Structure 1
Amino acid sequence: MGPGSEVPRFDPVHLEQDLGGPESLAGLRRWIRTHVVADADALADAQLVATELASNAIEHAPGPRVVRLRVSATRFTVEVEDAAPDAALTLGVSRLGGNRGRGLQVVNVLGRWGVHRRPTRKTVWATISL
């Protein structure tokens, strides 16, 4: 698994909403619990991947930020769009100290992920199998 460049496309159940601050994360996890039909491990993985990508955007990127969650019978995809198109994404490195910066490493282990950059926006996406 690991990074890629294309966001997977399919026609699943989905959510698209503005991503505010940290208070938004509980709502994302609730939506996932309600809409993802999977075993407990896959459900936990979906919640973790969504929380990691959303948290990164909240902490490191200016708004507006948008999160999209997509669920099909066999996979879960999260996309987080923000206004930091040039921000570097690095596995295991954080400007916030040695105990931080492991979120993308976790996402990398659990599924495929990538970045789509446009002139004024960036979308970080991840997809996992259910």
Structure 2
Amino acid sequence: MTPLLSHKHDVVRVLWRWTSDTPRAVSQARTALRCALDQLGYGGETLDDAVLAVSELAANALEHAPGPYEMRLRFTTSGLICEVADREPRLPAVPAFPATGPFEIDPSRRSGGLDALLTAMSERGRGLHVVHQLTCGAWGFAAESGGRMKVAWMAIPGT
């Protein structure tokens, strides 16, 4: 039996397409990537990290860009790339990431009680920091289709 996905280089496979009206879109993106990576022999922490990172990229696309959206796997000579494409032509600015992790305690915020804790936990903007941590910095944005689309991409380490 021939697998649906292969390791042929310079090949792109669309895993899933969705719109802003698709129910549970981010959950479905996670499931599609998990199934594809499982079929390719990925497992453990690599699979879990990739699924969590694509969850953030799909959620960002839904929140900040017009659809329809597409999740793809790109097989290249240097490895496997997961892409989330949307119809926003502008590339976002990549924030500077502090040396601490996204959920580590900032010493300047150690007091304040429950209200300060809830404020810190509700802060937005941690998604790309999570992607950065999970991919060891191997991610980014690229223009596509003559600048009419944007792709958020992340590298997935080999099995």
2:139 maps to 1:128: no
Q: How big is the shift at 1:43?
A: 1.6
SS in 1 for 2:84: strand
Deviation at 1:99, TM superposition (A): 1.1
Offset at residue 101 of structure 1 (A): 0.9
Secondary structure class of the residue paired with 1:99: coil
Contact 1:57 1:65 in 2 (8 A): yes
Equivalent in 89, 92, 100 of residue 124 of structure 2: 100
SS in 1 for 2:51: helix
Cα distance per residue 1:37-79 (max 9 Å; x no partner): 333211210111111111100010011222213579x955321
Quote the residue 1:53 is aligned against. 57
User: Larger Rg: 1 or 2?
Assistant: 2
Match of 1:113 in 2: 139
TM-score under structure 2 length normalisation:
0.59
8 Å Cα contact 1:19-1:54 kept in structure 2: no
- Gapped runs of 5+ residues in structure 1? 1-8
What amino acid is the match of 1:64? P
Q: Provide the alpha-carbon RMSD of the alignment.
A: 3.1
Structure 1 99/16 Cα, relative in aligned 2: closer, same or farther at 3 Å? same
In structure 2, distance between residues paired with 1:85 and 1:13: 21
1:106 is displaced (CA, Å) by 1.6
| C-alpha distance 12-42 of structure 1, shift in aligned 2 (>3 A) | farther
Q: Contact conserved, 1:92 with 1:105, CA < 8 A, in 2?
A: no
Amino acid at match of 1:102: R
What is the distance in 2 between the residues matched to 1:54 and 1:91?
Answer: 18
